[in-house]
A = this chain, B = another copy of it.
Amino acid sequence: MNVAIYPGSFDPITNGHLDIIERSSRLFDRLIVAVLKNPNKKSLFTVEERIEMIKGAVSHIKNVEVDHFSGLLVDFARKKNAKIIVKGLRAVSDFEYELQMALMNKKLYGELETIFIMTNTKYSFLSSSIVKEVASLGGCVKDLVPPVVEEKLREKFKNK
């Protein structure tokens, strides 16, 4: 059975992430969306909130589950018996950073393959950061994030 992991911060999940999840869920038997719990990086949503929003957004896809990890991604992959990492690529700058991470992960765990899927062009400008910035300034993020995320963002920034 081919188990793949789609790791990320997902702070919060966007429609770009969702597109990658839908498309890669068709390539593998099982896809684990894995939220990185990074105590050194300030996040807008807690890991629990992020997991809840992802679960709400992917509930229609059967072979997808949502989990979280801290520590090395390769250790999480070993524990889950997964040998495939899925990453979305938008731009050249993504490419270089992701290449570096893929090579490091292969160095740490030789059997692990990182595969890349190009982001749908209609989401090519989209990132969690830009969504948060726009939402924090009162801009509309409909069409950019799942409805559940739109609502959560409105709550977070309503008193601003």
Residues in chain A within 8 A of chain B (CB atoms): 2, 23-24, 26-27, 71-72, 74-75, 83-84, 89, 91-93, 95-97, 99-104, 107-108, 113-118, 121-122, 124-127, 130, 134, 137-140, 143-144
Q: Is the CB of A103 within 8 A of B125?
A: yes
Beyond A93-B93, A113-B26, whether A108 also contacts B139 by CB under 8 A is: yes
**How many copies of this protein are present in the complex?**
6
Q: Is the CB of B116 within 8 A of A121?
A: no
Beyond A93-B93, A103-B125, A125-B107, whether A71 also contacts B134 by CB under 8 A is: no
Interface residue SS majority, chain A: mixed
Q: Is the CB of A116 within 8 A of B116?
A: yes
Q: Which listed residue, B107, B117, B121, B134, touches A72 by the CB 8 Å rule?
A: B134
Cβ of A83: which chain B residues have Cβ within 8 Å of it? 26
Cβ of A126: which chain B residues have Cβ within 8 Å of it? 104
CA–CA, A136 to B84, complex, Å? 24
Q: Is the CB of A100 within 8 A of B72?
A: no
Beyond A27-B84, A95-B95, whether A104 also contacts B118 by CB under 8 A is: no
Q: Is the CB of B139 within 8 A of A125?
A: no
